[in-house]
């Protein structure tokens, strides 16, 4: 690691591969002899279209996305898609099933209710979202237009250990905090989408992967910038796309490819998560609230015996270059976000710090 950089455990925007940042720095003033920064380029230029096409190609390669899916690079964040999803998929008089596994899942459901009939098919809200609820196939409405899930719950630190069986009803997944972190069979999904700022690249880019047979269904009120069919026809360039964020995401994905792609990084991610959960499991000081089966590999949540000690932990860690460990304001405690770009070294250093802090404060 470069000397003056910290280990940044922020939940998003979050740490990015140094190699990608260095390439961006090198290319900042003059991108490959063009005499200008990527930020200054017309999105209609050949040079930029090449960057865009390469970024799409590498994402397709990393996730094995076939031509039967459209890949869109949009704006508006995951939150924009909370509205786009029902507007693109809900038929007149139709309904959708939502699985409420956290604040973002809940927010998506509440937003969707503006646009049609939404049913909460299962929820772990009453249990403080410490697990993914039981998802027997029988709980789903076979006539629903789609089933909505959140594959990793960033705030609470849970992850779907397996995907629900929804038969012929398309599965729509918010993958904002674990896209590209583990191997997913994209063919299991009707739609997979993610805000880029957790595990892909910088903020400002939203990736939407949609099976093409689901296009052409948008409600007439759907704004054009959120209409997947329009955006597919326009190659994500109905209007100006987030050009620089797309370029940066491409550099980050190039780095990921060099780490052995998604399958390669998945092994590292499992190991990184194990390092922290092992400390938590061996400790009588820390408490990890999430049910083991559903523990996130991306966001590790825990508490010390008191809110005062939580705050002391975050402060002391920060002075050792382990920063942004404060839990989300809704749940408090401590959260270590260990996305793809967090090196094993950083996680080892945090694990050592946790042990030391326990000994000193028990
Ligand atoms: C961060 C996050 C969101 C919100 O993303 P924005 O891009 O800020 O709208 C939604 N869902 C999940 C799972 C997230 O982690």
**Phi, psi (deg, nearest 5) at residue 37:** -75, 155
Kindly report the average pLDDT of the chain as a whole number.
97
From 257, 280, 312, the end of a domain falls on 257
| Per-residue pLDDT, 294 | 98
Residues 181 and 61 in one domain: yes
Show Cβ contacts of residue 126 under 8 Å, excluding neighbours closer than 6 positions.
none
| pLDDT tens by residue, 120-131 | 999 999 999 999
**Phi, psi (deg, nearest 5) at residue 210:** -130, 135
Ligand 1 center to residue 124 CA distance, Å? Answer: 19
Residues 249 and 268 in one domain: no
pLDDT at residue 230 is higher than 70: yes
- Is there a domain that residue 17 lies in? no
Residues 49 and 108 in one domain: yes
| pLDDT tens by residue, 192-210 | 999 999 999 999 999 999 9
CATH number of the domain at 334, please. Answer: 3.90.1150.10
| Per-residue pLDDT, 1 | 60
Domain range for 289 is 260-361
Distance CA 171, CA 201 (A): 25
Distance CA 16, CA 249 (A): 10
pLDDT at residue 2 is higher than 90: no
| pLDDT tens by residue, 119-176 | 999 999 999 999 999 999 999 999 999 999 999 999 999 999 999 999 999 999 999 9
Residues 248 and 271 in one domain: no
Q: Return the bridge partners of 241, or none.
A: none
| pLDDT tens by residue, 324-360 | 999 999 899 999 999 999 999 999 999 999 999 999 9
Residues 271 and 231 in one domain: no
pLDDT at residue 3 is higher than 90: no
Q: How far is CA 161 from CA 59, 135, 232, 338, in A?
A: 23, 11, 32, 18
| Per-residue pLDDT, 220 | 96
Q: What is the total count of domains within the chain?
A: 2
Q: How far is CA 291 from CA 180, 280, 288, 294, 309, in A?
A: 23, 13, 8, 6, 23
Residues 161 and 194 in one domain: yes
Residues 172 and 200 in one domain: yes
Q: To test the ligand 1 pocket, which listed residue (13, 78, 129) has its Cβ within 8 A of the most ligand atoms?
A: 78
Q: pLDDT above 70 covers what percent of the chain?
A: 99
From 209, 229, 257, the end of a domain falls on 257
| Per-residue pLDDT, 232 | 98
Residues 49 and 129 in one domain: yes
**CA-wise closest residue to 188 among 64, 312, 323, 28:** 64
Distance CA 232, CA 71 (A): 8
- Is there a domain that residue 300 lies in? yes
Show Cβ contacts of residue 141 under 8 Å, excluding neighbours closer than 6 positions.
95, 97, 119, 121, 169
Residues 251 and 273 in one domain: no
| pLDDT tens by residue, 19-47 | 999 999 999 999 999 999 999 999 999 99
CATH number of the domain at 159, please. Answer: 3.40.640.10
H-helix or E-strand spanning residue 277: helix 261-281
Q: Is 199 in the pocket of ligand 1 (CB under 6 A)?
A: no
- Is there a domain that residue 7 lies in? no
From 241, 257, 273, the end of a domain falls on 257
Residue nearest to atom 2 of ligand 1 (CA): 176
Show Cβ contacts of residue 48 under 8 Å, excluding neighbours closer than 6 positions.
38, 41, 42, 243
Ligand 1 center to residue 202 CA distance, Å? Answer: 13
Atom in ligand 1 nearest the alpha carbon of residue 77: 7
The mean pLDDT of 292-312, rounded to a whole number, is: 98
Distance CA 264, CA 256 (A): 9
pLDDT at residue 53 is higher than 70: yes
Ligand 1 center to residue 82 CA distance, Å? Answer: 10
Q: To test the ligand 1 pocket, which listed residue (173, 195, 205, 297) has its Cβ within 8 A of the most ligand atoms?
A: 195
């Amino acid at each position: 690691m470069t000397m003056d950089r910290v280990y940044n455990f922020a939940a998003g925007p979050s740490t990015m591969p140094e190699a990608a940042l260095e390439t961006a720095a090198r290319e900042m003033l003059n991108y490959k002899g063009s005499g200008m920064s990527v930020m200054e380029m017309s999105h209609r230029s050949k040079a930029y279209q090449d960057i865009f096409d390469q970024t799409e190609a590498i994402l397709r390669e990393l996730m094995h996305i076939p031509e039967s899916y459209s890949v869109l690079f949009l704006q508006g964040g995951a939150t924009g898609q909370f509205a786009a999803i029902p507007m693109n998929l809900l038929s007149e008089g139709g309904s959708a099933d939502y699985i409420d596994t956290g604040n973002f899942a809940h927010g998506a459901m509440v937003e969707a209710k503006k646009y049609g009939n939404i049913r909460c098919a299962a929820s772990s809200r009453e249990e403080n979202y410490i697990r993914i609820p039981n998802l027997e196939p029988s709980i789903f409405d076979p006539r629903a237009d789609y089933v909505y899930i959140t594959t990793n719950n960033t705030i609470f630190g849970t992850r779907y250990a397996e995907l629900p069986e929804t038969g012929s009803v398309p599965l729509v997944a918010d993958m904002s905090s674990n896209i590209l972190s583990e191997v997913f069979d994209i063919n299991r999904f009707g739609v997979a989408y993610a805000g880029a700022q957790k595990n892909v690249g910088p903020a400002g880019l939203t990736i939407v992967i949609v099976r093409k047979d689901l296009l052409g269904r948008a409600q007439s009120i759907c704004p054009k910038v959120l209409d997947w069919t329009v955006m597919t026809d326009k190659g994500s360039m109905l209007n100006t796309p987030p050009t620089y964020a797309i370029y940066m995401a491409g550099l980050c994905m190039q780095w990921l490819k060099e780490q052995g792609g998604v399958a390669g990084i998945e092994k590292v991610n499992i190991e990184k998560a194990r390092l922290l959960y092992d400390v938590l499991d061996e400790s009588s000081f820390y408490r990890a609230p999430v049910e083991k089966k559903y523990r996130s590999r991306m966001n590790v949540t825990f508490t010390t015996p008191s809110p005062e000690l939580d705050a002391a932990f975050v402060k002391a860690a920060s002075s050792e270059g382990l920063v942004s460990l404060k839990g989300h304001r809704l749940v408090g405690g401590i959260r270590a976000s260990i996305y793809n770009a967090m090196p094993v070294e950083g996680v080892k250093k945090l694990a050592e710090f946790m042990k030391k802090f326990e000994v000193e404060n028990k």
